[in-house]
Amino acid sequence: MTDARPGLHRPFARRETEFRPSPVRAVFELAMDPAYVSLAGGNPDTGLLPTAEVADLSAQLLRERGAEILQYGSGAGADALREAVVHLMAQTGSAVSGADVLATTGSQMGLDLVTKLFCDPGDVVIAEGPTYVGAMGVFGSYEVDLRQVPVDDAGMDPDQLAGVLDAERAAGRTVRFVYVIPHHQNPSGVTLTAERRRRVVEVCAARDVLVLEDDPYAFVGFPGNDPLPSLHSLHPEGVVHLGSMSKLFAPGLRVGWIVAPPELRARLQLAGEAVDIHPSALSQEVAAAWVTGPRWRPVLDAQRAVYAERCRVLLDALGREMPPGVHWTEPSGGFFTWLTLPGVPPGTDLLGAAIEQRLVLVPGDACFVDPPPTRHVRLAFSSGSDADLIEGARRLGAMVRAVQA
Ligand code: PMP
């Protein structure tokens, strides 16, 4: 496409082609239509958000410290938020200080800043296969060459990771970091086991490769599934950690954080100040007050119980509705399960087939650079009613039968 305006021989930068609608946002309107059942969006349930309490908290913060909160603040983030992060990270075994924490506008921004700081076009990043589509969009925008290491029911396979790292090095390519989503992974729902956490960290440390740990689901394990030690806790100098308030509190506030050694944190801060000067002070203050206050735990624990129950409802319905041979993961928390659909011919349009059944989901191909021949879909159970989950599984069963050869 050319642009007729004078002086614009080339309308956009090369990276423009990498900005595509996410598979979730592309179907957002259909997902809102009551004729459709949506198992697409990985959102916290709107009805479980503590809106009235947050309204009171915000009013109180503005009354008591309004002038400070409405003014420009520090590029590193509000002190209260950084202290709250110190307290949260301690619960996943990481001993950090406020100086190690950089506030971000959601962990999506953390992904962007880390990639921007480390990656030149053509540099290699290694991720899980499948991985988070939103991270793939970031890597693409910096022209990263993404490789993927398969995930099984215990998470990323460290032996295969070692093999890929060694092959890249032997081919003379620079691997800038290994991107891992360790708890209740998006999209697979799988948690990296404690043993594999140690192995992944060892494999990377032995080769002097940085780990980028993206851990927004750490605190949304089902009841009885508290977070495992973070990769950061195992090797603080070799791991940059991304956290987020989106799943443990409220995504609309857009508050996340990066934990990195102080010198690196300062460089990331400069990169961040060039983007947004600093994240919203009001959002940071509200998030900090909420997660250090008395109501966070009981509200979160109630949400975790609801998600566990919804997951059970969905998996039971899949057990009734799926044709033989279909496999799904058994999450211990988070928002997603990941299905493997054997016998679906290559090239079949899974989203189109789902829409024919008035069902919205995320087709698995979006989560791979080179999609494997066996097809997958991601289903979210976090925000659907029991009736939606059961009806969604029924429609999915009809869809799978329609597309299987
Ligand atoms: N990383 C992963 C693995 C995610 O699933 C998400 C949200 N879907 C994000 C990052 C971005 O989250 P945030 O709202 O904190 O920007």
pLDDT for position 63: 98
Whole-prediction pTM: 0.95
Q: For residue 163, what are its two tokens?
A: 């093999």
Distance CA 381, CA 361 (A): 11
What is the predicted pLDDT for the residue at 4? 54
DSSP-based three-state secondary structure for 328: strand
Bridge-based pairing state of the strands 359-360 and 37-38: parallel
| pLDDT given at position 15 | 83
Helix residue ranges, H only, 207-356: 231-234, 262-276, 281-292, 296-321, 350-356
The token duo for 73 is 């603040």
pLDDT, position 7: 60
**What pLDDT is recorded for position 392?**
98
Distance 322 CA to ligand 1 centre (A): 29
Please, are residues 270 and 187 in contact by the beta-carbon 8 Å criterion?
no
| 146-150, Cβ contacts within 8 angstroms, sequence gap of 24 or more | 146/369, 147/369, 148/368, 148/369, 148/370
Count of CB atoms situated within 10 Å of the CB of 326: 19
The pLDDT value given to residue 250: 96
- Mutational test site, ligand 1, from 136, 139, 186, max ligand atoms within 8 Å of CB: 186
Closest Cα partner for 239 from 93, 104, 137? 93
Average pLDDT of the chain is: 95
Query: Which mutation among 107, 114, 186 tests ligand 1's pocket best, with the greatest number of atoms within 8 A of CB?
Result: 107
Which residues have any ligand 1 atom within 6 Å of their CB?
42, 106-108, 132, 134, 181, 186, 214, 216, 244, 246, 251, 256
Tokens representing 17 are 């082609």
Q: What is the pLDDT of residue 18?
A: 81
The reported pLDDT for the residue numbered 16 is 84
- Which 8-state DSSP code applies to residue 49? S
- For residue 135, what is the enclosing H or E element? helix 133-141
Q: Encode 365-380: b = buried (16+ Cβ within 10 Å), e = exposed.
A: bbbbeebeeebbbbbb
Amino acid at the residue 49: L
**What is the spatial distance between Cα 248 and Cα 215, in angstroms, rounded to a whole number?**
11
Compute the distance between CA of residue 187 and CA of residue 180 in angstroms, rounded to an integer.
Answer: 12
Task: Kindly report the protein residue whose alpha carbon is nearest to atom 5 of ligand 1.
Answer: 186
* pLDDT digit string (tens) for the chain, length 405 residues: 455 555 667 788 888 888 877 766 777 788 888 999 999 988 899 999 999 999 999 999 999 999 999 999 999 999 999 999 999 999 999 999 999 999 999 999 999 999 999 999 999 999 999 999 999 999 999 999 999 999 999 999 999 999 999 999 999 999 999 999 999 999 999 999 999 999 999 999 999 999 999 999 999 999 999 999 999 999 999 999 999 999 999 999 999 999 999 999 999 999 999 999 999 999 999 999 999 999 999 999 999 999 999 999 999 999 999 999 999 999 999 999 999 999 999 899 999 999 999 999 999 999 999 999 999 999 999 999 999 999 999 999 999 999 997
Nearest 5°: phi and psi at 135?
-75, -35
- Report the candidate in 282, 293, 300 with the shortest Cα–Cα distance to residue 103: 282
What per-residue confidence (pLDDT) applies to 257? 98
